Amino acid sequence: MEQTESFYPEDQKEMYALLKTQMKAVLDGERHVIPNLANASALLGGALQNINWVGFYLKHREELLLGPFQGKLACVHIAFGKGVCGAAYSRGETVLVRDVHRFPGHIACDCASNSEIVVPLFSHRQAVGVLDIDSPLFARFNETDARELEELARIIENSCDWTELPGLQ
C-alpha cells in the first residue's frame, strides 16, 4: 500500500476519534456486509500510517475466507487457530504481534510485513470474522491501537446484517 500524506491528526487518540466518526458516517444507512467491509478497509487504509495491508477474513464453513481488503494479494483460506488471524478468531480476542517472525505458525502472505494486529468481529456473541492489519514496521501497533480498533470493530459489527453471508452459520 502506498502511503501518502495523512490528513489525520498525529495524536493517536484524536486520529481514532475522527476515524470512528468517519466510520459511522460511511456505514450509515447500509447493512450489507460486503460493501460495508470494502468501505471500512478503504477508510482504515487511508487513515492508518505505516501499514501495508488492511482487510477482513470472514467465517465460511469451517475456515476463514478472504474478504474485502486494501493491499497486495493475500492468502485466501486460513484455518481456524492457524496464524495470527486464525488465533484471534479461535480465541475470540485481539492478538497484537510486535514481531510476526516470532509468532509460532505465522502465515506470511507478504514478506514485507513485520508486525500485525487482528481484531475478531462478532454477531450475537459468535465470531464471524476478523479485521487484520499488517505493517512493515516492527512494533507498529500498541495497546491504544488495540483498544481503538476494537471500538471500530464494534461500529462495523453493528452496521452489518451478518445473516446475509452464506456459509456463516
| 119 secondary structure, DSSP code | E
Q: Could you give the 3-state DSSP secondary structure of residue 139?
A: coil
Mean pLDDT for the chain?
Answer: 93
Contact 56, 129 (CB under 8 A): yes
pLDDT in tens, 15-39: 999 999 999 999 999 999 999 999 9
- Could you tell me how many residues make up the chain? 169
Contact 117, 103 (CB under 8 A): no
- Give all domains of the chain, ordered by start, each with its CATH number: 12-160 (3.30.450.40)
pLDDT in tens, the chain (169 residues): 555 567 899 999 999 999 999 999 999 999 999 999 999 999 999 999 999 999 999 999 999 999 999 999 999 999 999 999 999 999 999 999 999 999 988 877 777 899 999 999 999 999 999 999 999 999 999 999 999 999 999 999 999 999 988 766 5
pTM listed for this prediction: 0.94
Quote the distance between the C-alpha of residue 104 and its chain's center: 20
Find, among 42, 116, 107, the residue nearest to 80 by Cα.
107
Q: Residues near 142 by Cβ (< 8 Å), separated by ≥ 6?
A: 96
Question: Residue 147's CB: how many other CB atoms inside 10 A?
Answer: 12
